[in-house]
Structure 1
Amino acid sequence: MQLPCYTLFSLLGLTAAGLAWAPAARAQTDLLHQLEREVAEPAKREVVAATFKGTRIINSQSVETPGAGTLAFLIQHRFGTLNSGAYQFFGLDQAVLRLGLEYGLTNRLTLGLGRSSQDKTFDGFVKFRALQQATGVQPLPVSVTLLASSSLTTLKFNETPDRSLTSRVSYAYQALIARKFNENLSVQLMPTLIHRNYVATAAEQNDVYALGGALRQKLTKRLALTADYYYLLPGPTARAFRNALGLGVDIETGGHVFQLHVTNSRGMTETFFVPQTQGNFFSGDLYFGFTVARSFTVSPQL
């Protein structure tokens, strides 16, 4: 039987429409399946790492910890002021040294010990990483690390009777609050309390409060600028002493971070640089120094 022409054209049109619609329908189905998978598999939670490249910034400690089973060995060296003149070789004859060890009991908990030549001081601290910045599911905008430290001065004093052991002890308490804004910029705030069991004058205060701030600006893959600053809250100590300020450069090498800096503070522990800074940064009272940190795996993680 011969079909009429209009019927033949209708069949051809329906066939062409079906062939054209099939790929579009398949693409729509694939898109729906993809959307279903994205709904079924929400974005994963990712912890933000390397807010700072080391456990130290300049004067300050950072939110970073060595990690479980890792031992960090620190050499902190600070010369005298650059404006001390040629007789003191522009500060090179007046060096202060601190050697420190920091061990990660867990990824969150760190113990540290150190010995500084300034006033022959021993120090120790406990550092706990309470919160860590994260993105994705249950994000956290900042990292928070809690720090408690103490120091013991063993320098012989020309006093009669000699100062007791407890009078030689000072304490520092800090909340280190940091945020890594992007791959290049990290900022940290540091509410701080210093308690000293003994002070020689009322101007020094037993309890000193300060607010610190620090930043790290990455320049290249291995080079970054750093800065930290401590503002002493109003009181006798703030009137008698200066706010600690430091500017530095971080250089990453194969196995360690090499930090160069200048600061108006001679001390390298919180109980020294927060309440006892005397140098005027903008008048040339600058202490040039460096910190070298090397990490060793003592107990590898399983």
Structure 2
Amino acid sequence: MKYTYTIMLLLFMLQLRAQDNDLMALLNDNTEDPVIYAEATFKGSRLINGHTVQTRKAKAFEFLISHRFGRLNSGAYELFGIDGANIRLGFEYGLSDRITIGLGRNSFEKTFDTFFKLKLLRQSKGRKVMPISLAYLTSAALKSLKGQEGFNTTASKLVYTHQLLIARKFSSLFSMQLMPTLVHRNQILEDQENSDVYALGVGGRLKMSQRISLNAEYYYRFDVPEADTNYNSIAVGVDIETGGHVFQLHLTNSRSMIEKGFITETSGDFFNGDVHFGFNVSRVF
């Protein structure tokens, strides 16, 4: 009988030891090697013209004002671009920490736009390693300008964009993003345009101080028709953060402030002086 008690006591002690080991392993997982997510890969939802991988926090509302003047080389008669200014007003809302929706209206070509952005992956280290952040963006734009020959129906004026936003924060000072993009136009001008435009964007952010960073952005279009007279979009700028506001000042050869415009319809040559000064101002509530 005493052997039975001895065996039971040994089993009980082994069970306690196993539970103790499991508890210590759990504590080690939670304290010694936590998951650390990359924060503020970019300061705002826009790099310059295009979106960043950043999404709004759940129930956060953002009001975004984007402004583009005319070309700086337009001369004194146009007051070096001031007379040719256009503006976009945008509203964005975080349905969750990973989902942002938005809509806007651009005075250029009287264009309405809407978008949906979903963050699929978050860059992290520690117990869970993920080298990149990844988001999917889809948007639609409707040019409501009257008198467009050949564009007589609502469907013919619609343009859709699909984009992957692939970003990595390499250090506290430097972040980079790739943007493979598809722009689909329901109706085009024959021989001058493609219905589907494939492009690859690349952009980066270099932090200069606690509140100031330098940004750059470039979009390369593939398989451009010979009759197409447009150029690839180029933009350089600076971000200035002041409390709840982010001011973005930049130079770009693109007049439009949405994907269907600056990726497929940039008519200016950046290196020939066809440069627009612009700014974005955002406020998060």
TM superposition score category, shorter chain reference? 0.7 to 0.9
One of 62, 66, 90 as aligned partner of 1:100: 90
Matches within 5 A, 1:14-29: none
Q: 2:147 aligns with which of 133, 153, 157?
A: 157
Matched residue, 2:9: none
Name the residue aligned to 1:276. 265
Deviation at 1:281, TM superposition (A): 0.7
* Alignment-mate amino acid for residue 73 of structure 1: F
Q: Secondary structure at the match of 1:92?
A: helix
Q: Distance in 1 between matches of 2:191 and 2:82?
A: 34
For 1:269, the aligned partner's letter is: I
- One-letter code aligned to 1:286: V
CA distance in 1, matches of 2:141, 2:169: 31
With 52-61 and 193-202 compared, the bigger mean Cα shift is at: 193-202
Instruction: Give 2:129's aligned amino acid.
Output: P
Separation in 1, partners of 2:30, 2:70: 62
Q: How much has 1:158 moved relative to structure 2?
A: 5.0
RMSD: 2.0
Counterpart residue number, 1:62: 52
Query: Which residue identity is paired with 1:64?
Result: Q
Asked if the contact 1:175–1:190 (Cα under 8 Å) also holds between the matched residues in 2, the reply is yes
Structure 1: stretches of 5+ with no match in the other structure: 1-36, 297-302
Pick aligned residue for 2:124 from 97, 115, 134: 134
From 118, 142, 160, the equivalent of 2:108 is 118
What displacement does 1:171 show? Answer: 0.3
TM-score by length of 1: 0.83
DSSP-derived class of the 2:84 partner: coil
- Specify which of 45, 61, 69 is matched with residue 79 of structure 1: 69
Taking the aligned partners of 2:103 and 2:254, their CA distance within structure 1 comes to 21
| Alignment of structure 1 residues 1-302 onto 2, 5 Å | 41-157=31-147, 159=149, 163-236=152-225, 240-296=229-285
CA distance in 2, matches of 1:194, 1:107: 26
User: Aligned-pair distance for 1:202?
Assistant: 2.2
Deviates more, 1:68-77 or 1:202-211: 202-211
* Contact preservation (8 Å) 1:208, 1:237: no
2:14 is aligned to none
- CA contact 2:201–2:219 (8 Å) conserved in 1: yes
2:118 is paired with a residue whose SS is strand
Contact 2:56 2:99 in 1 (8 A): no
Q: CA deviation at 1:68?
A: 0.2
C-alpha distance in structure 2 between counterparts of 1:187 and 1:175, whole Å = 14
Query: In 1, distance between residues paired with 2:232 and 2:259?
Result: 13
Q: Tell me how far 1:235 sits from its aligned partner.
A: 2.7
- Give the share of equivalent positions with the same residue, in percent: 50
Cα gap change, 1:181 to 1:40, in 2 (>3 Å): closer
> How far apart, in 1, do the equivalents of 2:166 and 2:121 lie?
9
Distance change >3 Å, CA 66–CA 86, structure 1 → 2: same
Q: Aligned partners of 1:39 and 1:268: how far apart in 2?
A: 46
Tell me, in whole angstroms, the C-alpha distance in 2 between the residues paired with 1:202 and 1:73.
Answer: 39
Residues 205 and 237 in structure 1, CA contact (< 8 A), matched pair in contact too:
no
Question: How much does 1:255 deviate?
Answer: 1.7
Please tell me whether the aligned partners of residues 29 and 127 of structure 2 are also in contact (alpha carbons under 8 angstroms): no
- The residue number in structure 1 matching 2:20 is none
Greater shift in the superposed pair: 45-54 or 150-159 = 150-159
Code of the residue aligned with 2:77 in structure 1: it is Y
**Residues 18-37 of structure 1, C-alpha deviation per residue, up to 9 Å, x if partnerless?**
xxxxxxxxxxxxxxxxxxx8
Cα deviation 1:117-153 (Å, max 9, x = unaligned) = 0111100000000001001012100000100000011
| Higher alpha-carbon Rg | 1
Deviation at 1:164, TM superposition (A): 0.5
- Structure 2 distance, partners of 1:248, 1:51, is 17
Show the counterpart of 2:17.
none
